[in-house]
Amino acid sequence: MKHLIYIFLCLNALLLKAQTPSFVAQVSKNKVVIGEVFQLAFTINGQGNNLVYPNLNMFDIYSGPNQSQSMSIVNGNMSQSTTVSFYLLPKKEGKFTIGSASIMSGGQKLETKPIVIEVMKGNPANAQANQNQQQNQQQATPPTSKNIDGDDLFVKTSLNKSKCILGEQLILSQRVYSRVDLRGFQNVKFPPYNGFWTQQETGNQQIDLHQENVNGVMYYVAELSKVYVFPQRTGKLTIEPIEIECVVRRAVNRQPRNIFEQFFGAGGYEDVIVKVKSKPVSVDVIDLPSNNKPLNFTGAVGDFSYKAEVDNHTIKANEAINLKITITGKGNIKLIDPLKLNLPESFEVYDPKISENIKTQGGVSGSVVYNYLMIPREKGEFILNNIEFNYFNPDKKQYISLPSPDIAINVLQGDASSAQVVTSTKNGIKETENDIRYIKTGDLELQSQGSYFFSSFTHYMLLLVPICLFILGLFFVNRYNKANSDVVAVKERKAARIAKKQLVQAEKHMQQNEKELFFNETLNALNKYISDKFAIAIADLSKEKIKEMLLQKQMDELIITRLIDTLNTCEYAKYAPSAVTGDLNKVYNDTVQLISDIENRFKK
C-alpha cells in the first residue's frame, strides 16, 4: 500500500510539472460606485512562489488575502490552480489602474495585465446595503434579472481590422458575453451586410462556451457566428447591430408550488428573456493602389497560385482543344473575373466553364477552374505565352504577377471533308462555302418593305372586337336585370314550371299508390300555381275568388269548371282518402292539361 501511494504521488508531481503555467488577474466588476465592495482575484494555474501584489493604496482592503486551491483531472490530464482574492472598497471617485502582479513559476516570471477600475458616484444607502450584504456573504453575489445590465450580459460585433483594402477578406464575429446563468438564445436578428460580399463559415453548428478576460472581468463567451466579409466599395462601411433575445435563469423568492419543485429546487428559479443589442462597427475601406497596377488585373485580392495547361498539344485545324486555368489560394477567390485571353487571331475561343471547390473553415479558400474551349482555324505552330494572372497581396501591399509557362500547340492541316469557317486576319476576311450566307438556300419568301401586320386593316379590326364584345355583354346584362326586377312578373312567368316540378313529386306518390300524399301534392301545386300566376296570396285563395278572378281574365267557363272540380276532388281526397275510388292517373293528367290550357289561353 505504501508503494502505491508513493507511485501515485510521483505521478501527480510529474503531471503538475508538465502543466503549462499561467497567471491571470480578474475583478468581479470594473465599474463600481462609492461604498460598493468588489472582488480582486489572482489565479495561478500550476505551481508558483514569490507572489508580489500590486499597489492597492487607492482602495480599502475589506477582506483578504483569501486563498483557495482546486485540482481537476480531465481526460487523464491533471491541473491545479491557486487563487488569492481581496475584497476592496474604493475611497473616491475616478479611474484607477490596478497594476500588474508577478509570481515565479518554473524558473520564469509571470505577470498579470493591469486592470482599470472606474469608480462612480452612487447612492450611499444602496452602497451601505451592498456592503452589509458583502459582509454577510463574503463573496460576490450573482446578479438577478432585476439588476442585469451591460456589464453582466452583452453581445459584441467585432471585425479583425478597422482599416482594409478594397476586396480584402475580413473576419466578422458575433459573440455573447455573459456573467449570468445563460440558458439559450431565440429570435436572433442578424444585420444586413450592405456593401460587403459575405461567406458564412461552415462546420460545427453547435455553440461552444469558453472563458475570456475582458478588462479584468472573466466572462463566458458564446460565438454565435463567424462570417467572412469582403468590402465591395470604398469609404466608411458600417455593419448594423445584431439583436438577440437571451434566455437567462434567475433565482426567485417564491415558495415551491408542489412537492416536486420543493424536492428538486425548481421553485426557486425561473427563466426570463433579456434582449441585448450590439454596437455598430465600422471599417475604413481604401481603394487598391494605382501605382504598378497591371492592365489585365481581374480584382483578385489575397494570396494565390496559378496554373495553365492544355489537354492536347497537337491537333488538326477546326478541332477543339481545352485550355484549363486553375487559381488556388485564399481571399476573394469567388469574386475573381475570368481571365482575358490574348490568343492568336486564328483561334476561336468560347466563354469558360467555371467549377469551384471552396472551403470556409479558417477563411475563404480553395480553387477555381476555368475551362476554355478553343478551336484553331489555321494550321501552324503557336506558342501561348501571354496568359498571366495578377492579384494584390494585402499583407505585402503590392501587386503580384504570375506568368504562365510557354504552351506550344502544333496545329496540323485539317481533313478535306471538314468545314472551314470565317477567320479574321490582318489582310481581311476569308469567305468559304460554309459562310453564314449559305445557311438558308432557295426562295427566302421576302416581303416588300412596309408590309407589316401592325397598323394594318386587320390589326385595327381585331382591336375593335373586344370593344364590341364588351358593349354586347353590357346590353345582355341590363336586359337580364330589367327582366328580373319585377318580382310579380317573374313569379308569373315561372308559375307553370314550378307547378310541373311539384307534380313530378305527385306522380311518384301515384306510382306508389299513396293516395293521400298524391292529392295533397296535387292540391299544393294548383294553389301555388294560381297564387304565382295571378299574384294572390295563398291564404286569400277561395273557390269563389278564383272563379271571379278567372272570369275577369275572360277565361273559358269550361276551364273554370274543370279547375274548381279538380280542387274539390283534391280537398275531399285530402281529408277522406279512403273514400276516393277514382283513377289517380286521370286526375294527374287532367291537372297537367288544365295548367297547359290556362297557359295557352293567356298567351292568346
* Coil, helix or strand at residue 561: helix
Residues 104 and 204 in one domain: no
Report which of 164, 311, 315, 313 is spatially closest to residue 234, judged by C-alpha positions.
Answer: 164
Whether residue 160 sits in one domain with residue 99: no
270 and 307, same domain (yes or no): no
Residue 267, all three cell numbers: 421553485
Closest CA to 523 of 564, 494, 579, 493: 564
Q: How confident is the model at residue 140 (pLDDT cuts 50, 70, 90)?
A: very low
Q: Mean pLDDT across the stretch 236-246?
A: 92
As a whole number of angstroms, the distance between CA 545 and CA 253 comes to: 90
Residues 11 and 127 in one domain: yes
Domain end residue (candidates: 285, 307, 342): 285
Asked if pLDDT for residue 433 goes beyond 50, the answer is no
Q: What pLDDT is recorded for position 422?
A: 42
Of 30, 63, 25, the C-alpha closest to 44 is 25
Task: Answer for the pair 496, 502: CB distance below 8 angstroms, yes or no.
Answer: no
DSSP 601: H
Give me the DSSP letters along 160-177.
Answer: S-SEEETT--EEEEEEEE
pLDDT beyond 80 at 282? yes
Q: Is residue 466 part of a domain?
A: no
Mean pLDDT of the region 29-40: 80
What is the grid cell recorded at 454? 401592325
**Cβ-proximal residues to 130 (8 Å cutoff; 6+ apart), any chain:** 35, 36, 37
**Of 50-64, 236-250, 321-335, 389-403, which gets the smallest average pLDDT?**
50-64
Q: Is 451 a member of any domain?
A: no
* 83 pLDDT more than 60: yes
Residues 441-493: pLDDT tens digits?
Answer: 666 666 666 667 777 788 888 888 899 999 998 888 887 777 666 666 677 77
Upstream peptide bond of 65 is cis (omega within 30 degrees of 0): yes
326 plus 277 within the same structural domain = no
Q: pLDDT: is 461 or 48 the higher one?
A: 461
Q: Is 396 exposed, middle or buried (0-12, 13-18, 19+ CB in 10 A)?
A: exposed
Residue 163 has pLDDT above 90, yes or no: yes
Higher-confidence position of 375 and 546: 375
Q: Is the pLDDT of residue 280 over 90?
A: yes
Q: 191-200, 220-229, 354-363, 414-423: which has the minimum mean pLDDT?
A: 414-423
Give CA torsion, residues 477, 479, 484, 489, to 10 deg: -170
Residue 459 belongs to some domain of the structure = no
Q: How far apart are CA 435 and CA 290, in angstroms?
A: 45
CATH number of the structural domain spanning residue 81: 2.60.40.10
The DSSP code sequence of 98-111 is E---EEEETTEEEE
Confidence of residue 267 (pLDDT cuts 50, 70, 90): low
426-457 in b/e burial notation, b at 16+ Cβ within 10 A?
eeeeeeeeeeeeeeeeeeeeeeeeeeeeeeee
| pLDDT at residue 516 in the model | 80
pLDDT per residue over 291-319, tens digit each? Answer: 888 888 888 999 999 899 999 999 999 98
Q: List Cβ neighbours of 320 (8 Å cut-off, separation of 6 or more).
A: 373, 374, 375
Instruction: Say whether 201 sits in a helix, a strand or coil.
Output: coil
- pLDDT of 196 over the 80 cut: yes
Asked if the model's pLDDT at residue 16 lies above 50, the reply is no
Residue 143, pLDDT > 50, answer no
pLDDT of residue 391: 93
Q: Are residues 250 and 303 in the same domain?
A: no
The answer on 121 and 160 residing in a single domain is no
Question: Which of 238, 260, 285 is the endpoint of a domain?
Answer: 285
Closest CA to 531 of 518, 519, 549, 552: 549
pLDDT of residue 450: 60
Q: Is 83 left (phi over 0), alpha (psi -120 to 50) or beta?
A: beta
Greater confidence (279 vs 561) lies with 279
Residue 584 has pLDDT above 90, yes or no: no
Q: Phi, psi at residue 300, to the nearest 5°?
A: -75, 130
| Stretch 403-420: mean pLDDT | 77
Number of domains in the chain: 4
Phi, psi at 544, each rounded to 5° = -65, -45
Residue 421 has pLDDT above 60, yes or no: no
CA 40/CA 18 separation, integer angstroms: 28
Q: Tell me, what's the pLDDT at 442? A: 65
Helices 543-552, 557-575: axis angle to 10 degrees equals 160
Residue 377 lies in a domain: yes
pLDDT tens digits, 54-81: 888 888 776 767 777 766 655 556 667 7
Q: Among residues 429, 457, 472, which one ends one of the domains?
A: 429
Least confident range from 156-165, 364-373, 458-467, 540-549: namely 540-549
Give the largest CA-CA distance in the chain.
140
DSSP track, 410-454: EEEPPPTTS----EEETTEEE--TTSGGGSS-S------TT--ST
Highest mean pLDDT among 39-43, 227-231, 267-271, 429-433: 227-231
> Which residues, other chains included, contact 277 with Cβ-Cβ below 8 Å and sequence gap of 6+?
155, 241, 242, 243, 244
Among the listed residues 234, 247, 238, the one whose alpha carbon sits nearest the alpha carbon of residue 279: 238
Q: What's the pLDDT at 410? A: 93
Same-domain pairing of 247 and 352: no
Q: Are residues 27 and 127 in the same domain?
A: yes
In a domain, 464, yes or no: no
Residue 388 and residue 507 share a domain: no
Q: Judge whether residue 431 has pLDDT over 50.
A: no
Same structural domain, 241 and 303: no
Instruction: Report if residue 461 sits inside a domain.
Output: no
Residue 228, domain extent: 153-285
Here the CATH number for the domain that contains residue 374 is: 2.60.40
Residue 85 exposed, middle or buried by CB count within 10 Å (0-12, 13-18, 19+): buried
| Residue 118 in this model has a pLDDT that exceeds 70 | yes
Same domain for 341 and 397: yes
In 106-152 the beta strands, taken as DSSP E runs, fall at: 108-111, 115-120
Bridge-based pairing of strands 163-165 and 281-286 is parallel
Does 380 reside within a domain? yes
* Cα within 13 Å of Cα(50), Cβ side: 10
Q: Indicate whether 594 pLDDT > 50.
A: yes
455 in a structural domain: no
Tell me, what's the pLDDT at 279?
A: 92
Question: Could you give the CA distance from residue 237 to residue 191 in angstroms, rounded to a whole number?
Answer: 13
